[in-house]
Amino acid sequence: MIGLTIKQLRYFDALARHLHFGRAAEACTISQPALSLQIKELENMAGAMLVERGARTLRLTPIGEDFVIKARQVLLAIDELEDLMRVSQGPFAGRFRLGVIPTVAPYLLPDTITALTGRFPDIDLELRESVTKSLVADLLDSRLDAAIVALPISEPALREFALFQEDFVLVRPRKDDGKPVPSPDMLKSMRLLLLEEGHCFRDQALSFCEITKTQPRQLMEGSSLSTLVQMVGAGMGVTLIPEMAVALETRNANVSVVTFDRPKPNRTIGMVWRKSNPLADHLMEVGAIVRGVGQRSDP
């Protein structure tokens, strides 16, 4: 396949991820006609259709599915070669793509950005906030260098680096201030406000309350911790939030915050990256910096 370029592989990878020419072109920061032309040239070189174009849908052909697997292997190898070259140049510099889960990002990132740019003046931070499943997929596909998530992830290809542990607290209407702290069993009978499906913090809260996903009960959902706290302030129920979120989310809310009796519900926040990433030594240093930020943020 003479003439095949790395850029074409990246364009096809984007199209395979988005299954939409417009969105793929936007992700690649090129025009849609330019992307379409590059994909067409790729198909001409392959001598086969890689994409099935329908009136409203787009899907990969069987050959396209095999092609994108190999393309991603090539792109991963190229990214790791570039990282290997960066390692030899001394202090951490250049692009660093970091993902963070939504229940950590607003509370940890401001001080983390300051600390990282202070330690590595030539670093170019690219940040992404998303749920764990999406961040792990991007790590495995080399679209991220590292991610800050709740551990464990238990993905064989990823290295886990524990940063700090934090407790969960109960947020309830201010009128309930002074009432006994409810036990996990008591929470089962209360109107519990939770994050939407896909957030690991939702699963951790359900686990503490000993509520299984199959139990028939009404759980009110919100898209963010801020939404949940405001719903509590309006008298719609109670919720659990991580301790690091308390100062920001409850300062203007009509709520009461209480800590649980032991054993307290908690989670371990960590940083994960591909074991094959040549930047491993730099990432260990980044992890140590983030750990320091997290420990200073403890109430």
pLDDT of 263 over the 90 cut: no
CA 104 – CA 271 distance, rounded (Å)? 12
Q: How far apart are the first and last CA of the chain?
A: 59
How many other C-beta atoms can be found within 10 angstroms of the C-beta atom of residue 240? 24
CA distance 128 to 143: 10
Q: Burial, 125: exposed, middle or buried (Cβ in 10 Å; 0-12, 13-18, 19+)?
A: middle
Longest dimension (CA), the chain: 74
Q: What is the pLDDT of residues 89-147, one digit of tens each?
A: 666 778 899 999 999 999 999 999 999 999 999 889 999 999 999 999 999 888 899 99
Give percent above pLDDT 90 in the chain.
48
CA distances from 92 to 33, 97, 125, 274, 285 (A): 37, 13, 11, 17, 9
Does pTM top 0.85 for this prediction? no
Q: What is the mean pLDDT of the chain?
A: 88
What are the backbone angles phi and psi of residue 160, rounded to the nearest 5°? -105, 130
User: What DSSP designation does 181 have?
Assistant: P
Domains, the chain? 6-85 (1.10.10.10), 91-163+269-297 (3.40.190.10), 165-266 (3.40.190.10)
Percent over 70 (pLDDT), the chain: 93
Q: Mind listing the pLDDT tens digit for each residue in 43-96?
A: 888 888 999 988 778 889 989 999 988 988 888 888 878 777 766 666 677 889
Whole-number pLDDT of residue 182? 87
